Chain A
């Protein structure tokens, strides 16, 4: 979607943010792919082809992306940085400390949470991160707000000299709605931050910057409280139900609100820090309170206080009226409000519908790599295969049962080293090419340093597969894989570095090489190469 015409457009939430950034005067955008945030930067890359003044770049990981955004801000430019919720863990170091520098060019972090874990390993709530760093968080409820708040976030970032978090969730990122764009703001020219001390976080400077943040906290809180995104509507009477919604939860509430028989006072929260006065005003005039928030019971926990000391009864995720985990939907909201949930059609009970989980594509090179690894390991008794994040995690499915761990980006190599040193051998670590660059290299350096008795299998399919086939940061070219140079450069013994063409016809040949390296009492790295079948297909269509 590269149109920047000003008429109504049907956009994904992710696309609305990208358009908001371009129209909001951003000069640069950085990120690392991760569902459900990927399409933000994908869309930015499309705009970058049309507007020479706008540049968008995939980065090695979320930390390097965030640091590049900081550099752009110091240089005076507006910059967008995007990632998924767990990506912010990787970027947490620069993120937390960036809250103490005096942001110069507006810096907006668009972070996409995945409640329900559609495509993630946890459902952490990024509002805690914004709170942790004591910075502003905007939470759009719909597509128009995703566009508008992105633009506003740049203005707020420059006004308060802090990064601004734009928190979205899967159902906004990956739903389409109508957006009416406005004409674009001018872009900042290069203009270095005038006070260098505010960017040098030596303890003395950091203490001063932190103190300033804390001193101005009350003013900031007041402005966010009275701003346009925290809307309170009070109903008169003695029998009033209180409802608080945050972000996209409002959609489900508005969908069913007309069916409620009792008068309702409603507070919608779209901007943090929390509007405490409005919450108190609401609580004062209601008999009980229902809270709908997508993610953790962040708000609910604060309102309940220690010992559940809220003056009014509260229904929410903590009391069970709303499920403690997973994403919201209209049925959950209906039930929590005491409205009936309709029953739909059903197949007869005698007919069971089998699940259809995701799986490796037919012809996927990972299938052949796993066949070789399993054959190699069959020569040993107990063994361990640690793995990582990507399509190859689907090697856990019952038809392969080829891997035994998946925790976070890059964990496979460090976990293999730890398990091996603990005495569990042999250990094979399986990691993809993009994940290796993202977070695997540093762990490999540890393994080189200790000459760990592990075998690292890097599955190089020349793409970031799971997120839709982005180009790996340092793309390989078949057997001329660049990863070999990196591995040798880091210092792995060349005698124990192999590049294999992974293919169904090569399973036995490859398994013999893998088995020999597993038997070797030290570190070996085997790079299994073949292009992702989906990426190869796409190249054929477009060429």
Chain B
């Protein structure tokens, strides 16, 4: 088994914590993994990407080869389109709907949605709305982890545990909010 994932978003959206949640779950199941991140300058409102590679045999490269990622998880719709060359022909694309319009030439949003919907397997998730239902817009990224959970090579239970450990030090209320976000996201991708 080999599963390559690409995460996308805009600096400050919590791309790295999404990657960390899924990576922690994979590690708890004894799977091999490598994860690459972008720190530094790009985190200042620029396009940000991370890659996570999970396998039952040792993983060498921290980077994904073109055309081989099975899943793209994007916190922002325009960013979902940026990394298409990394995806395999039958890849699943999960993207949040809310745009981050911090550039002057941001394309027409409906056109972006249409591009995403035309992909072979794509889900546009209103992560912001579901996050609000869970208790805070800040849980949007965990809504997306939930939406991705059906397509990941790890058990939902492991993801729940990973989310728990990720937010543990922030208190039980925050943990519960994020677990609710996870469940709402999971129900939304179908």
| Interface of A toward B, CB cutoff 8 Å | 8, 10, 12, 35-36, 38-39, 118-119, 142, 171-172, 174-178, 250-252, 254-255, 329-331, 334, 341-348, 351-361, 391, 394, 399, 466-468
Residue of B nearest to A12 (CB): B37
Q: How far is the CA of A357 from the CA of B79 in the complex (A)?
A: 12
- Whether B38 pairs with A174 at a CB distance below 8 angstroms is yes
Q: How far is the CA of A178 from the CA of B35 in the complex (A)?
A: 10
Chain A residues closer than 8 Å to B11, beta-carbon distance: 358
Chain A residues closer than 8 Å to B82, beta-carbon distance: 353
Q: Can you report 30 residue pairs joining A to B where beta carbons are below 8 Å apart? A: A12-B37, A118-B40, A118-B41, A171-B62, A172-B62, A176-B37, A177-B33, A178-B27, A251-B60, A331-B66, A342-B65, A342-B66, A342-B88, A344-B66, A344-B69, A344-B86, A345-B67, A351-B107, A352-B107, A353-B107, A354-B106, A354-B107, A356-B45, A357-B47, A359-B44, A359-B45, A360-B44, A361-B44, A361-B45, A467-B40
- Whether B65 pairs with A176 at a CB distance below 8 angstroms is no
Contact pick for B40, options A12, A251, A353, A466, CB 8 Å: A466
Chain B residues closer than 8 Å to A178, beta-carbon distance: 27, 32-33
- Whether B103 pairs with A354 at a CB distance below 8 angstroms is yes
Chain A residues closer than 8 Å to B67, beta-carbon distance: 341-345
The 4 closest A-B pairs by CB, nearest first: A342-B67, A119-B40, A35-B40, A358-B46
Chain A residues closer than 8 Å to B20, beta-carbon distance: 176
- Whether B40 pairs with A36 at a CB distance below 8 angstroms is yes
Tell me which of B60, B79, B120 has the highest count of chain A C-beta atoms within 10 A of its own C-beta.
Answer: B60
Tell me which of A118, A329, A358, A467 has the highest count of chain B C-beta atoms within 10 A of its own C-beta.
Answer: A358
CB distance from A473 to the nearest CB of B (A): 20
- Whether A251 pairs with B62 at a CB distance below 8 angstroms is yes
Q: How many residues on the B side are at the interface (Cβ–Cβ under 8 A)?
A: 55
Q: How far is the CA of A255 from the CA of B63 in the complex (A)?
A: 10
Chain B residues closer than 8 Å to A255, beta-carbon distance: 60-61, 65
Q: How far is the CA of A466 from the CA of B41 in the complex (A)?
A: 6
- Whether A353 pairs with B81 at a CB distance below 8 angstroms is yes
Does B150 touch A at the CB level, under 8 Å? Answer: no
CB distance from A352 to the nearest CB of B (A): 8
**Per-residue CB proximity of B60-79 to A under 8 Å, as 1/0?**
11111111110000000011
- Whether A10 pairs with B62 at a CB distance below 8 angstroms is no
Q: How far is the CA of A255 from the CA of B67 in the complex (A)?
A: 15
- Whether A334 pairs with B84 at a CB distance below 8 angstroms is no
Does B158 touch A at the CB level, under 8 Å? Answer: no
- Whether B84 pairs with A345 at a CB distance below 8 angstroms is yes
- Whether B84 pairs with A176 at a CB distance below 8 angstroms is no
CB distance from A103 to the nearest CB of B (A): 31
Told that A345-B88, A357-B46, A359-B46 touch, could you supply 10 new A-B pairs with CB distance under 8 A? Answer: A10-B35, A118-B40, A174-B39, A250-B60, A251-B61, A341-B65, A342-B68, A344-B66, A345-B89, A356-B102
Residue of B nearest to A331 (CB): B66
Chain A residues closer than 8 Å to B38, beta-carbon distance: 118, 174
CB distance from A315 to the nearest CB of B (A): 19
Q: How far is the CA of A351 from the CA of B47 in the complex (A)?
A: 18
- Whether B84 pairs with A347 at a CB distance below 8 angstroms is yes
Residue of A nearest to B41 (CB): A119
Query: Given A118-B40, A255-B61, A351-B115 in contact, is the A343-B85 Cβ separation under 8 Å?
Result: yes
- Whether A345 pairs with B119 at a CB distance below 8 angstroms is yes
- Whether B34 pairs with A175 at a CB distance below 8 angstroms is yes
Contact pick for B39, options A38, A330, A343, A354, CB 8 Å: A38
Q: How far is the CA of A500 from the CA of B119 in the complex (A)?
A: 53
Query: Given A252-B60, A330-B65 in contact, is the A344-B84 Cβ separation under 8 Å?
Result: yes
Chain B residues closer than 8 Å to A357, beta-carbon distance: 46-47
Chain A residues closer than 8 Å to B10, beta-carbon distance: 356
Contact pick for A174, options B24, B37, B119, CB 8 Å: B37
Chain A residues closer than 8 Å to B32, beta-carbon distance: 178
Q: How far is the CA of A254 from the CA of B84 in the complex (A)?
A: 25
Q: How far is the CA of A39 from the CA of B67 in the complex (A)?
A: 31
Chain A residues closer than 8 Å to B69, beta-carbon distance: 344
Q: How far is the CA of A343 from the CA of B68 in the complex (A)?
A: 9
Chain B residues closer than 8 Å to A351, beta-carbon distance: 81, 107, 111, 115
